[in-house]
Amino acid sequence: MNLSTKVAIVTGSSRGIGRAIALKLAEVGATVVVNDIGKAEPVESVAEEIRAMNRQSLAVLADVSSPSDVTKLVETTISRYGKVDILVNNAGITRDQLIMRMSDQEWDEVLNVDLKSVFLCTRAALRTMVKQRWGRIISIASVVGIVGNPGQANYASAKAGIIGFTRTIAKEVASRGITVNAIAPGFIDTDMTRRLREEWKQQLKKQIPLGYFGSPRDVAEAVAFLASEEARYITGQVLNVDGGMATS
C-alpha cells in the first residue's frame, strides 16, 4: 500500500478515530490535511506529528456542517497541494436522548454535523476528483445506523443516511474512477464511548462476538485499504469494523 502521491483530507481529526486515520494515511505516504472545529492546538499537534514522520500536513479549522467553512477547507487544500485525492468524512457528534424527550436542536445538530457535512464535503471534493478522474471518498457511518440503538434516533438516522448517500454517489461517479465507500464501526474506545456508564459498557461488550471495544487504529487500517489502489474494484460498500456485532 503506497499513498505517497496522494493528498487526503480527514475531517474531525484532532482526536479519536479521525486522528488515527490521519496518522495511518501519513504512515503509508499521504499528504494529510487535518481538521476540527474547536481550538487550534490539538489539531495543529496532529499536523506536527505527521510532519515529524516526514510527510506534509496542514491543519485547517472548519465546521464541516457550514457550507462556507467546507469551501474554505477544500480550497485551502487545493491552493496548498493542488488537488484532493482522498476525502475521509469522519467528524461526528452525539446528542443522545429518548425520542419523546429529544429536542429539535438535538435532532438538527446531529443531522447537520453527521450527515449534512458528508454531503457538503463530498460535493466540494468531487469537483476536483472528477477532473482528475481519480478519487476516494470514505465516510465513517456506524453499526448503529444498521441495527439501531435506543436513545440515538438522531445519530442512527444520520448514520443510516450516510449509507444511502454512499451507495448513490458510488453509482453517480463510478465512471470517473472515483470509489465511494462507508465504514460502520461498532464500539471503539474514544472520548465518544468513554462517556458511557461502566455498567452499560459491560452490557455492550456482551453483544460483541469478539468481546471487546475496538481501537481507533482498527478503523484506520480499513480506511487506508479502501483509499489504496489495491481497493480500486470496491465501491458502494459498507465495511463493518465491529468485532462481529452486526451479525449477532
* Distance of alpha carbon 133 from alpha carbon 128, whole angstroms: 9
> Is residue 185 close enough to count as binding ligand NAP by CB under 6 A?
yes
By CB under 6 A, name the one of 6, 7, 10, 15 that touches ligand NAP: 15
> Is residue 12 close enough to count as binding ligand NAP by CB under 6 A?
yes
Q: Is 233 a catalytic residue?
A: no
Grid cell for residue 232: 480500486
> Is residue 166 close enough to count as binding ligand NAP by CB under 6 A?
no
* Distance of alpha carbon 129 from alpha carbon 64, whole angstroms: 19
By CB under 6 A, name the one of 90, 122, 154, 240 that touches ligand NAP: 90
Which ranges of the chain would DSSP assign to H, the alpha helix?
A: 16-27, 40-52, 67-81, 104-111, 117-132, 144-147, 153-173, 191-194, 198-206, 216-227
Between strands 238-241 and 57-61, the pairing is: unpaired
By CB under 6 A, name the one of 191, 202, 206, 247 that touches ligand NAP: 191
CB-based contact 222:237 (threshold 8 Å) = no
* Distance of alpha carbon 130 from alpha carbon 44, whole angstroms: 30
**By CB under 6 A, which span of 25-33, 58-66, 95-103, 170-178 interacts with ligand NAP?**
58-66
By CB under 6 A, name the one of 193, 224, 238, 243 that touches ligand NAP: 193
**By CB under 6 A, which span of 24-32, 63-71, 122-130, 231-239 interacts with ligand NAP?**
63-71
* Distance of alpha carbon 22 from alpha carbon 14, whole angstroms: 9
Phi-psi region of 243 (alpha: psi -120 to 50; beta: other; left: phi over 0): left
Min dist. Cβ of residue 30 to ligand NAP (A): 18
Min dist. Cβ of residue 136 to ligand NAP (A): 17
CB-based contact 220:16 (threshold 8 Å) = no
Min dist. Cβ of residue 14 to ligand NAP (A): 4
Min dist. Cβ of residue 91 to ligand NAP (A): 4
> Is residue 196 close enough to count as binding ligand NAP by CB under 6 A?
no
Residues binding ligand NAP (CB under 6 A): 11-12, 14-18, 35-38, 63-65, 90-93, 113, 140, 142, 185, 187-188, 190-193
Active site members:
155
